[in-house]
Amino acid sequence: MNTEALFTEENIALFSMGVLFVLLAYYYYARPPKEINRLYGHRTPRSMKNQQTWDAANERSSKDFFSLAFVVLIVGIFLIPINFEGKVIIQMVVLLVGLGWTVWRTETYLKNNFDKDGNPKNS
């Protein structure tokens, strides 16, 4: 693959999107939201029941999001040498499915470890 074909707008977008999500995920992992808010963090009715569910949800979600960000970056890097015009769409599908998976895993974790009022379940 020659350098001109390597640095296309689509390939730059693939790599940039992966790097951007790794940086965002690192920030979320390194600085999870301390208090319940409506701007930043894993914001669902179940996670916002109380501070304990909020902390548990954001700890779990940040780890999954960090893993997802690396998957998005790796998928983007593997797609770069492929000559196919829909590469960015593939990466976006991976990202959207991964985000849905992250939310599902976090909500399942909360459901399994907290009751409907946000109190920890006794094992």
For residue 122, being part of any structural domain is answered with no
For residue 119, being part of any structural domain is answered with no
26 C-beta neighbours (distance < 10 Å), count: 14
Q: What gap in Å lies between CA 5 and CA 93, rounded to an integer?
A: 24
pLDDT tens, 12-39?
A: 889 999 999 999 999 999 999 999 998 9
Res. 54: pLDDT tops 70: yes
For residue 97, being part of any structural domain is answered with yes
Q: Name the band, by pLDDT with cuts 50, 70 and 90, for residue 90.
A: very high
For residue 70, being part of any structural domain is answered with yes
For residue 121, being part of any structural domain is answered with no
**Structural domain tally of the chain?**
1
Residue 23 pLDDT: 97
For residue 7, being part of any structural domain is answered with yes
The residue segments making up the domain with residue 56 are 3-34+41-113
The answer for residues whose C-beta is within 8 angstroms of residue 60's C-beta and 6 or more apart is 42, 105, 106, 109
Query: Taken in order 39, 44, 47, 49, is the CA torsion positive or negative?
Result: positive
For residue 9, being part of any structural domain is answered with yes
Query: CA dihedral in degrees (39, 59, 31, 68; nearest 10)?
Result: -90
For residue 59, being part of any structural domain is answered with yes
